[in-house]
Amino acid sequence: MNSPLLSVRDLRISFNGVAGPFEAVRGVSFDLGREKLGIVGESGSGKSMTGRAIMRLTPRAAMVKAQTLCLPDVDLLQASEKTMERIRGKRIGLIMQDPKYSLNPVVSVGEQIAEAYLIHTRSNASEAKRKAAAMLEAVQIRDPERVYRMYPHEMSGGMGQRIMIAMMLVSEPEILIADEATSALDVTVRLEILNLLDDLVRKRGLGLIFISHDLNLVRHFCDRVLIMYRGHVVETLKAGELDQATHPYTRGLLDAMPRIHTPRRRLPVLKRDPAW
Amino acid sequence: MVDIMKSQTPIIEIDNLIVSFGEGDDARRAVDGVSFSVLAGETFGLVGESGSGKSTILRAITGLVPSTATTLRVMGEDVSRERGKDFYRKVQMVFQDPYEALHPRHTVWRQLMEPARIQKVPDAETRAKASLDAVGLPQALRWRYPHQLSGGQRQRVAIARALMLKPEILLLDEPTSALDVSVQAEILNLLCDLQEEHGLTFLMVTHDLGVVAHMCNRTAVMQSGKLVETLPVDVLVNGGATEPYTRKLIAASEAYGEAPASLSQLTKV
Ligand SMILES: Nc1ncnc2c1ncn2[C@@H]1O[C@H](COP(=O)(O)OP(=O)(O)OP(=O)(O)O)[C@@H](O)[C@H]1O
Ligand SMILES: Nc1ncnc2c1ncn2[C@@H]1O[C@H](COP(=O)(O)OP(=O)(O)OP(=O)(O)O)[C@@H](O)[C@H]1O
Ligand SMILES: [Mg+2]
Ligand SMILES: [Mg+2]
């Protein structure tokens, strides 16, 4: 891979719990190019923490260490908070797992998207408004003019996710981290959103980190997949070769998927090996 | 899937349900004249477009949003106006957004114990421990606050909480959307076991037709506040849907599961 957009080496995140220190991320390493990198993994395995560490948005209690965590021109471990403020949203966008709680509850969703545009570009209010409305349409919001004036608590689960996607795309970041960003969308709308992201990767060279539980989506949409289990990467695969996974956790995932045409009385469950 | 339909007794009866939001020019019907009923002991799916009113229907049943209906009956009782304390024991809801169900300043343990305290459940502690085990959460997490959990851990706390009162009806809004498929399998198996042992009824919103095929007896399909059609799941998966929107949904889901040549090809279905 020629000159990655982002390099992560030996990322470790720990918390001081009542029962002693707890390592939520235990040595994660990867490079991100102008590609769609999927991250799949166990619930609680450290996917969201990894995404937040890249943005330097881990909770205060978290201790973050790494050998390398950098953009080509910025060391994210050393950068000042002021530098980070310029990077967040503008160069790296993060779509959080709980979109409705990352939005400002007292500002209409349209205004929030317009504001994000204004902060990161030299433009005026009317241009920002036009851009925000266009973004709402691009993410398949029905009746975008009316929704523009609505507030986060008035959004359905899937509308909230799309507002967040619109807000992160409007400032055209170089890297986008999408944390379960399409889980509340019906399949037809989801495919439209994926097409939009795919276009950005192909035409603008966006680097996309796509955290998802949806194996079918990852298999068809991403270029590569990291499989995470208990704080580390247990396997890296070409997305199209997910079926050839060898790690027992990944195999277990593939088996546990409910299928439309292969009914089973019970779904197989994993026997988790402490050695994984 | 439970093959035999447990009964023919409707336990949730909804006729011409209407929920409106907004005022003046912005007034819209989020749920626009929806009718269906759920039989005791069955799993009934609710699928459809994002923003079509699925969550709003569940909220209307529990009285969280005002609604009007010709009929709104749960367990034979008219709940269109008020619901007794008993209702909130027998009917539990798992919200789409776990943050909404959980109190931000209560520990996991307190989230579980609080409803039990209100309903004066005698063996609350034993139940709380068992609920955590049932959803695969380590007991060590019980002193954490919601913001100290991962998304899927929060979702499982919400499920554990709903199970605390041993409800008869569970309204499940995308209950496994934040779980990896191995944990999802454990939760779905748990729900099936509860249904077999105690005859629970599930009304379940999901975007995953694989989950619908696995869990549900019948499903309703929604688009823009209206119920497009209601059909048995075996008819749905065997190409028996008649409405164009349903056919589009199933075609997209099928294409998505197998290997499409390209993404753009998928969107054209
Ligand atoms: N503030 C905190 N204090 C202690 N532990 C925490 C805190 N926040 C998160 N954790 C723990 O860190 C681990 C990793 O969390 P993370 O949110 O990254 O998981 P995840 O892989 O995104 O899971 P999911 O798929 O369920 O969202 C989890 O076990 C979680 O309980
Ligand atoms: N409190 C509210 N105020 C105004 N409008 C609302 C409110 N709650 C929901 N709506 C609107 O009602 C419609 C239906 O929302 P609902 O949450 O029921 O959709 P849904 O089918 O659950 O969608 P999703 O699959 O995306 O979660 C949406 O257009 C939404 O904007
Ligand atoms: Mg997460
Ligand atoms: Mg919803």
> The sheet that has A175-179: what strands, in order across it?
A92-95, A175-179, A207-211, A36-41, A224-229, A232-238
Distance CA A156, CA A165 (A): 14
Query: Residue A262: CB partners within 8 Å, gap ≥ 6?
Result: none
Distance CA A98, CA A48 (A): 11
Q: Please report whether residue B19 resides in a domain.
A: yes
Residue nearest to atom 31 of ligand 2 (CA): A155
What pLDDT, on a 0 to 100 scale, did the predictor assign at position A205? Answer: 95
What pLDDT, on a 0 to 100 scale, did the predictor assign at position B164? Answer: 94
Strands B77-78 and B28-39: unpaired
Q: Please report whether residue B60 resides in a domain.
A: yes
Beta-carbon separation of A259 and B51 below 8 A: no
* CATH, residue B243: 3.40.50.300
Q: Please report whether residue B77 resides in a domain.
A: yes
Beta-carbon separation of B189 and A216 below 8 A: no
Contacts of A195 in chain B (CB under 8 A): 263-264, 267
Distance CA B240, CA B250 (A): 10
Q: Tell which B residues from 234 to 253 touch A, by Cβ distance under 8 Å.
A: 237, 248-250, 252-253
Contacts of A220 in chain B (CB under 8 A): 256, 259-260, 263, 266
State the pLDDT confidence band at B257, using cuts at 50, 70 and 90.
Answer: low
Structure-block tokens of residue B181: 């498929």
Beta-carbon separation of B151 and A249 below 8 A: no
Count of domains forming chain B:
1
Judge whether B67 and B19 are in contact, CB under 8 Å.
yes
The model's pTM: 0.94
- pLDDT over 90, % of chain B: 79
Half-sphere exposure in the Cβ direction for B23 (13 Å, CA): 0
Number of A to B CB contacts under 8 A, please give it.
Answer: 170
Residues of chain A with pLDDT under 70: 1-2
Choice between B257 and A203, residue whose per-residue pLDDT is larger: A203
Q: Please report whether residue B269 resides in a domain.
A: no
Q: Please report whether residue B44 resides in a domain.
A: yes
Judge whether B235 and B213 are in contact, CB under 8 Å.
no
Output the CA A157–ligand 4 centroid distance in Å.
5
Q: Which domain holds residue B58?
A: 4-264
String of DSSP letters for A104-154: -TTS-HHHHHHHHHHHHSS--HHHHHHHHHHHHHHTT-SSHHHHHT--GGG
Q: Which of B104, B48, B61, B85 is nearest to B203 (CA)?
A: B61
ipTM comes to 0.94
Distance CA A145, CA A118 (A): 19
What pLDDT, on a 0 to 100 scale, did the predictor assign at position B261? Answer: 44
- From first CA to last CA, the distance across chain B in angstroms is 28
